[in-house]
Structure 1
Amino acid sequence: MMGNLAKHRELILAGAILVLLALVTLRYPGFIAPGNLVRVFDDTSILIILALGQMVVILTRCIDLSIAANLALCGMIVALLNVAFPGLPVPLLIGAGIVAGGAFGAFNGVLVWKLGIPSIVVTLGSMTIFRGSIFLLSSGQWVNAHQMTDAFKDFPRATFVGLPMFSWFAIAVIVGFVLMMWRTRLGRSVYAVGVNPTAAVYTGIDVGRTQFFAFVISGMVAGLAGYLWVARYAVAYTEIASGFELNVIAACVIGGISIAGGIGTAAGAVLGALFLGIVANALPVINVSPFAQMAISGTVIIIAVVFNARAERKKGRIILRKAEAQA
């Protein structure tokens, strides 16, 4: 039943994206040109990557408000490493960002797991810590394009089989998350913890440990996104991606990821991010004001929350009916 509900939501969202594209095409036919659609996907790749990481955390009944601050801190770390050691290969710098992000995610996870502190409190605090750490690391200075090596800046922009590396990173992360959620014990544990933590314990699943690994995964994708963001815009500073965590959460909610946990798929998170990416790229083209864009995005989020709440109530009624039948 959960799978059918998820598919239903994803089909509706996919249809909404097609309708949005059709409406934009009426005003600007060139928007659906293959080259432009590739650019839209490329522009949305970082949001897709972060939404998938946030999805895993939300599925376990937690939330990561520090994901954008983690991105910014990891971005500054790899930028400073590139300046201090210009000979370091780019893959090694990317690996350093992923490891650092995972460590910062583990910091959140330990506090939630071992101390039982609500995740919203933990990540609100760590968000401030991460932002402050950027200032301390950089002494408040920016790392600009002329300080970065050409290899550091050019690698994400390189194309392979007609697609930029940004897009390939997003595709690789999507495939990885789909496989993890449906083919691994961790993925099944994430859903079990979100649906019913008490029942998960009786099946031998450690709820706290599962939430810990969810935060580590969220941190790792934030570390990857940190490099991609800094390399793309060729600048690193304290306020990078400030407020971007709201876009990430919005993408998850629009994609059908239930804030109550246990419901949602990687496909839904990707579709939610793509919807926001298309809105951000399409509406300025047809001269829609930024304020109207915000209103449209907010309306869609509210509709998604209402739809998710109705789906959860329906699932609850089904469970109760089954319980009554067995009694």
Structure 2
Amino acid sequence: MSTPLDQRPATAPAPRAAHGEGNRFSRLLKQRELPVIVALVALVAYTSANNPAFLSPQGTKDLLLNATIIVILAAGQAMVIITRNVDLSVGSVLGLVAFGTGTVFSIAPEVPIPLVFLGGMLFGALLGAVNGALVTFAKVPALVITLGTLYIFRGLNNAWAGGTQYFAGDRPAEFGALSVDTVLGIPVITVLALVVVVAVAVFMGGTRPGRDLYAIGSDPDAARLFGIPVARRTLTVFIANGALAGLAGVLYTSRFNAVGATTGAGLELDVVAAAVVGGVAIFGGSGTILGAAIGAVLLNTITSSLTALQVDKFWQQAIVGVLILAAILIDRLAGLRRAKHLREKEGRHV
């Protein structure tokens, strides 16, 4: 005959399992990316309900293509912002690399495409190194440095390009096909962007240098005390961000019909907005690459959705502005709430 003691082990695990499921659900609700994903799904559902062509095969392909460049730029920008910095020159870097790519193809049409990608990334990395060196060694705030290099790089592009433009017909057909061909219905350049996001996300979350970037953004002085090479890590981040901007510049040349002196102008604000809307704290120390990528997709989808719904362009810009302010305020409130919770927890242990 069974006794109460015999039955206890069989019934004890149930509450623990339920408690574990509750904890997992609670953690899911606290994910910074969740509100962005919900907003994206709701936006797509509402737009497709009012305009069935929005999610047609061609419409979906256009959505992915339009987001691709910003997704790559947002991944790099997120790394910089996490370290409590910002890079406002990425649009100008993209413009220089894009025009440089067009120039290379005009001079040497038979140049191997992989070599063009490598050259574009190295060019971008060099420009990123200029930003990183000025920030780390001159110890001037990144906002000031990159605002200056934004205009310097743009001026160099204007002087280089002048009135010259390179069009789709000036590049090899196989290079332009990167934005036309698909893999399982996904454009090739979008697949490349996804690979970039996954690689950067793994670096940030799964390696010591990546985790160091979060420590630097949370408290640079404390990071130094723990032996983290703050200057070297910061310089590396700017170089990596420049390389990704260079990659985006090469893909821009494949994606769009023309590149010239104004290519990439104004993109820097969209990139910062994508990272912030995606949950990357503007004050550094928190956020994910995945969140920044989703934020980029959301902002591009908003523009496409409002265009499909025939909403005035002014309201498109206003809505993006509201989203940025809301993301910053929510992040600030969440930070204050976490600080209050930590103080209360420390008080209970005193």
Which residue number in structure 2 is paired with residue 199 of structure 1?
Answer: 222
Paired AA for residue 72 in structure 2: I
Deviates more, 1:141-150 or 1:76-85: 141-150
Secondary structure of the 1:305 match is helix
Query: After the TM superposition, which segments of 4 or more aligned residues of structure 1 sit over 4 Å from their partners?
Result: 3-7, 322-327
How far 1:96 moved relative to its partner?
0.4
Distance in 2 (CA, whole Å) between partners of 1:118 and 1:75 is 27
The one of 157, 160, 175 aligned to 1:134: 157
**1:153-195, CA deviations, whole angstroms, 9 ceiling, x for partnerless residues?**
2333322333211211111111111111111122101111011
Q: What is residue 6 of structure 2 aligned with on the other side?
A: none
Secondary structure at 1:258's aligned position in 2? coil
For 1:149-168, list aligned pairs within 5 A.
149-168=172-191
Verify: 1:124 aligned to 2:147, yes or no: yes
Q: Please state how far the C-alpha of 1:227 moved relative to its aligned partner.
A: 0.8
Which residue of 97, 114, 117 maps to 2:137? 114
Match of 1:72 in 2: 95
Correspondence for 1:190 among 213, 222, 226: 213
Q: Which moved more, 1:124-133 or 1:19-28?
A: 19-28
In structure 2, do the counterparts of structure 1 residues 301 and 139 end up closer, same or farther at CA, with 3 Å as the change threshold?
Answer: closer
Q: Which residue of 2 aligns with 1:261?
A: 284
CA contact (8 A) 2:99 2:260 kept: yes
Tell whether 2:267 aligns with 1:244: yes
Instruction: Tell me how far 1:83 sits from its aligned partner.
Output: 1.0
2:20 alignment partner in structure 1: none
Give how far 1:301 is off: 1.4
Letter in 2 for 1:249: V
Gap change, CA 1:225 and 1:263, over 3 Å in 2:
same
Determine the structure 2 residue equivalent to 1:171. 194
Maintained 8 Å contact 2:81/2:282? yes
**Separation of aligned partners in 1, 2:242 and 2:188:** 21
**2: CA distance, partners of 1:159 / 1:62:** 36
For 1:31, the equivalent position in structure 2 comes to 54
Comparing 31-40 with 266-275, greater Cα deviation is found at: 31-40
Unaligned runs of 5+ in 1: none
8 Å contact kept, 1:100–1:220: yes
Give the Cα separation in 1 of the matches to 2:185 and 2:114. Answer: 21
Structure 1 stretch displaced more, 151-160 or 190-199 = 151-160
CA distance 1:32–1:248, change in 2 (3 Å) = same
Output aligned runs, 1:53-72, within 5 Å: 53-72=76-95
Equivalent residue for 1:294, pick from 306, 317, 324: 317
Which blocks of at least 5 consecutive residues in structure 2 are unaligned?
1-22
| Distance in 2 of aligned mates of 1:304 and 1:33 | 31
Distance 1:78 1:41 in 2: 23
2:240 aligned to which of 181, 201, 217: 217
Question: What residue identity is the alignment partner of 1:214?
Answer: V
1:311 to 325, 334, 340: 334
- CA offset at residue 43 of structure 1? 1.4
Aligned to 1:10: 33
Alpha-carbon shift at residue 291 of structure 1 (Å): 0.9
Which of structures 1 and 2 has the bigger CA Rg? 2
Shift of 1:230: 1.6
In 2, the alpha carbon distance for the partners of 1:256 and 1:217 equals: 21
Equivalent-residue separation in structure 1 for 2:263 and 2:185 (angstroms): 29
Give distance in 1, aligned partners of 2:291 and 2:169. Answer: 39
- The answer to whether the 8 Å contact 2:162/2:261 transfers is no
**Once the 2 structures are TM-superposed, how far is the Cα of residue 323 of structure 1 from its aligned partner?**
4.7
Q: Give TM-score scaled by structure 1 length.
A: 0.94
1:215-273 C-alpha deviation (Å, 9 max, x unpaired): 11110110001011122113221111211111111111111111100110112101111
Encode CA deviations 1:92-119: one digit per residue, 9 max, x unaligned: 1011000100110011000111110110
For residue 302 of structure 1, report the CA deviation from its aligned partner. Answer: 1.4
1:53-101 CA deviation, whole Å, 9 max, x = no partner? 1000000000000011000011111111111111111111011000100
* Counterpart residue identity of residue 83, structure 2: T
Q: Percent identity?
A: 34
> What is residue 278 of structure 1 aligned with on the other side?
301
Aligned mates of 1:175, 1:309 — CA distance in 2: 27
Structure 1: how far apart are the matches of 2:96 and 2:68?
19
Verify: 1:100 aligned to 2:123, yes or no.
Answer: yes
Deviates more, 1:27-36 or 1:157-166: 27-36
Q: How many residues are matched?
A: 326
Q: CA deviation at 1:326?
A: 5.8
